[in-house]
Amino acid sequence: MEPLNSLELKMENQNYELIDNIPREILFHMLDNPAESLIVVDRKGCILFMSKIYEQIASMSVSQAIGRHVTEVSPNTRIHKVLTTGKSEIGEPFFLKGKLRIVARVPIKKDGEIIGAYGKLLFWHTAKFKALHDQLSRLKGEIKNYKNEISQIYTSRYSFKNIIGESYLLRMAKDQALQVSNTDSTVLITGESGTGKELFAHSIHQTSKRSAHPFIGVNCSCIPRELAESELFGYEGGSFTGARNIGKLGKFEHADKGTLFLDEIGDMPFNVQVKLLRVLQEKQIEKIGGKPKTIDCRIIAATNRDLEELMKEGKFRPDLYYRLNVANIRVPSLREMKSDIPLLVHYFLAKLTRVIPKNVTSISSEAMEALTRYSWPGNIRELENLLEGAIIFCKGNQIELDLLPSRFKIEAGLSIILKSLDSDLTLKEQLQILEKKIIERTLKVANNERTTTSKILGIHRSGLQKKLKKYNIQ
């Protein structure tokens, strides 16, 4: 048996002193309380102490029990077995006088040697134990539900089946995304705003080996510059004025084992770009006020800006760009895949009418032609929003041209006018006919409001008045 070192001796003496300071009356009532039936034995199994309440289950009184072997007082006990095994038995079922109890048996050791043991009833009635078990089971179930809710929040919501379209450029982008999803390489997704870059990021994660782990999305343009570092990397408690005492986990830690999607990466502050470069190079993050910590998450970045132009302007680090641009996927704009517009229209009609209580099932050929001809600066997002508004105001089951915004009606009208022009007329005559018809159609769109008409046409109201008089338009 090894002797106690000086520190252990000092701590033991301090504990003895603390116990000496507790009044004997308090100590006695702690041992002899009605909530616990306590029995203490020496190394031979002879009883040193027995609480008064233990008399209810023992075969003799406290005064008769002291000094006797524990098996004489409680024939079915296992306290003396603990003296041999040296192992605690906590929460064990035990029959006393024909009733099931829950007990604890614990060996008492000093310097590694067993010098005694104690036993006590944890629950006099199994109903109390069952109530505790039920409560723990309920709490366990609640924790499981919370975990499921959190996993739903931090998971990818889309897959490749949500990317609608069959045009060549879109199929090429989907094929590249599928190939890269089988790797752990960093991905840079480029494309105009509203093209569905986030949809591609979700799909890559969903198909990857990390799909069971978190997908954390961060829009770099929405984080205040002064908070960007703490949001991404977190901080230790009390590391700066206003910091929470418990600290904060950053997005990188939330995405551990999963995927971190950095949208609008071109708007990331320059000082944070340096720390991101370190993550990509060394797979480590460093919290504010903390030490380096290894992290395992895949980075997918996206931008609608020209990063090479930003590098020339000194707003984006070249070394970070080359680290991010391992696998570059360009998502085409909607005007580059106009053949997919009918597919997208019908997809959005089905999707939107599931949440909007309208039975809108189709779109007229004139309206579809107008949508196909449009340039779509807002891309797919603009198309979806436009269709949502059209469904809301639609009174039948088909979207007509009149439900589309003015710009679509005017473009459609111009197409009709151009088709109706007589090629035998002179250029001046055709231009006059065209101008008159444009004014008439714009007036109709503007409900004959001349101020609105002049604004749409981009001319002064007095100029419109002269043209109305010139062409005898009422």
- Give domain status of residue 1, yes or no: no
Structure tokens at 43: 């190394």
| Contacts of 310 by beta carbon, 8 Å cutoff, 6+ apart | 266, 316
Residue 1, pLDDT > 50, answer: no
- Domain count of the fold of the chain: 4
For residue range 397-454, list pLDDT tens digits in order.
Answer: 999 988 888 777 666 555 555 565 566 777 777 778 778 888 887 888 788 888 888 8
- Give domain status of residue 65, yes or no: yes
For residue range 421-436, list pLDDT tens digits in order.
Answer: 566 777 777 778 778 8
CATH of the domain at 164: 3.40.50.300
Structural domain boundaries, residue 430: 414-474
Q: Does residue 343 share a domain with residue 254?
A: no
For residue range 105-147, list pLDDT tens digits in order.
Answer: 899 988 889 999 998 877 555 555 555 555 666 666 555 555 4
Nearest-angstrom CA–CA distance, 319 and 72 = 82
Q: Is 191 left (phi over 0), alpha (psi -120 to 50) or beta?
A: left
Q: Does residue 119 share a domain with residue 78?
A: yes
Detail the DSSP E strand segments found in 21-64. Answer: 38-42, 47-50
* Mean pLDDT value across residues 190-210: 95
Residue 163's alpha-carbon distances to 203, 217, 296, 380, in angstroms, are 9, 18, 28, 11
Q: Does residue 108 share a domain with residue 42?
A: yes
For residue range 236-275, list pLDDT tens digits in order.
Answer: 887 777 677 778 888 999 999 999 999 999 999 988 999 9
The SS3 assignment for 305 reads coil
pLDDT at 151: 47
Structure tokens at 66: 């002291």
Q: Does residue 205 share a domain with residue 113?
A: no
Yes or no: say if 121 and 37 are a contact pair by the CB < 8 Å rule.
yes
pLDDT at 95: 61
Q: Does residue 467 share a domain with residue 357?
A: no
Q: Does residue 203 share a domain with residue 112?
A: no
Q: Which residue among 350, 373, 404 closes a domain?
A: 404
Q: Does residue 450 share a domain with residue 399?
A: no
Q: Which residue among 330, 355, 370 closes a domain?
A: 330
Q: Which residue among 84, 103, 127 closes a domain?
A: 127
Structure tokens at 47: 């009883």
CATH of the domain at 371: 1.10.8.60
Other beta carbons less than 10 A from residue 28's beta carbon: 12
State whether the Cα torsion 380-381-385-388 is positive or negative: positive
Yes or no: say if 198 and 302 are a contact pair by the CB < 8 Å rule.
yes
Q: Does residue 96 share a domain with residue 10?
A: yes
Q: Does residue 455 share a domain with residue 397?
A: no
Q: Does residue 296 share a domain with residue 169?
A: yes
Residue 183, pLDDT > 60, answer: yes
Q: Does residue 310 share a domain with residue 209?
A: yes
Yes or no: say if 229 and 271 are a contact pair by the CB < 8 Å rule.
yes
Detail the DSSP E strand segments found in 372-417. Answer: 398-399
Count of H helices and E strands in the chain? 20, 16
